[in-house]
Amino acid sequence: GAGVSQSPSNKVTEKGKDVELRCDPISGHTALYWYRQRLGQGLEFLIYFQGNSAPDKSGLPSDRFSAERTGESVSTLTIQRTQQEDSAVYLCASSSRQLIETQYFGPGTRLLVL
Amino acid sequence: RKEVEQDPGPFNVPEGATVAFNCTYSNSASQSFFWYRQDCRKEPKLLMSVYSSGNEDGRFTAQLNRASQYISLLIRDSKLSDSATYLCVVISPPGNTGKLIFGQGTTLQVKP
C-alpha cells in the first residue's frame, strides 16, 4: 500500500513568509509525528498526534510553529514568519497503535529560507 | 544533557571489518529501544529492536545494558552498503506512549 507522503518535496521561501507543509500518513495509522532535521544533524522532535488525544507539542521551537491534524488523516505543519534558521528537512512519520516503535517516514520537505 | 547520546563519528572502516556503536540514554525508566538506519538524503528506517537479552539479525547484533544505560549495535563483516547513519532510538516513558527520542546518529563509512 501507499507509504507516508509529504508535500511539497522542496520549498524555497523568503524570510518573513509563512509556509505550510503537508503530511499524508499511512491509512489506519493513529500516530503521526513531525520532526526537523538540519543539515548534518539528528532528528529533532516537533509534535506528536495520537488518535484523538491532545497532541504533544513539547518539541515546537517557538510560537511561530503550529500543526494541525484532522482525525487520523492529513496533518499540516505551519511555520509563520519564517527565519533562515528554519531551513531544514521536515520529516513526517506515522505508526500504528499496535506497533508504535515502527515509524514509517515520509520523504520529507526540504525547506530553504532565503 | 540530551536524553539519547551517540558519538557522531564518522567511523571509517574497511570492508569486512567489525564495528560497534554505543548509545547512552538518560532516563532509567525507558523501556523500549531501537536502532534506525538513515541513508544519505533519505528518510530513517527501522533496522532492529533491542531486547534485554540481546538479539541478532544476520550480521547485526544489538545489546542492552540497563545498569549502565547504554545500547550497542555490532556490525560484523561490514559491507559497502552498510555505509549510513545509525540512529539510536528510545521510547520516552511513561510506558509506550509512542514518543520516540532519537539520538543524533553515528555515521559509518565502509571503504573498499
Q: Which residue of B has its CA nearest to A108?
A: B43
**Model confidence pLDDT, tens digit, residues A4-49:** 999 999 999 999 999 999 999 999 898 999 999 998 888 888 999 9
| Residue whose cell numbers read 528506517 | B45
DSSP structural state of residue B105: -
Flag whether residue B100 sits within 8 Å of chain A, measured between CB atoms: yes
**Model confidence pLDDT, tens digit, residues B11-43:** 999 999 999 999 999 988 888 899 999 999 899
- CA A42 from chain centre, in angstroms, equals 15
Task: Return the pLDDT at B98.
Answer: 62
First to last CA, chain A: 37
Flag whether residue B44 sits within 8 Å of chain A, measured between CB atoms: yes
**Model confidence pLDDT, tens digit, residues A65-93:** 999 998 888 999 999 999 999 999 999 99
Task: Return the pLDDT at B57.
Answer: 94
Flag whether residue A67 sits within 8 Å of chain B, measured between CB atoms: no
CB contact under 8 Å between A45 and B99, yes or no, is yes
**Model confidence pLDDT, tens digit, residues B51-71:** 888 899 999 999 999 999 999
Cα dihedral value A70, A75, A81, A86, nearest 10: 150
Q: Which residue of B has its CA nearest to A88?
A: B41
Alpha-carbon distance of A27 to B66, in angstroms, equals 36
Task: Return the pLDDT at B97.
Answer: 59
Task: Return the pLDDT at B39.
Answer: 94
DSSP structural state of residue B46: E
Task: Return the pLDDT at A70.
Answer: 84
CB contact under 8 Å between B104 and A31, yes or no, is no
Alpha-carbon distance of A90 to B42, in angstroms, equals 12
Residue B101: which pLDDT band, with cuts at 50, 70 and 90? confident
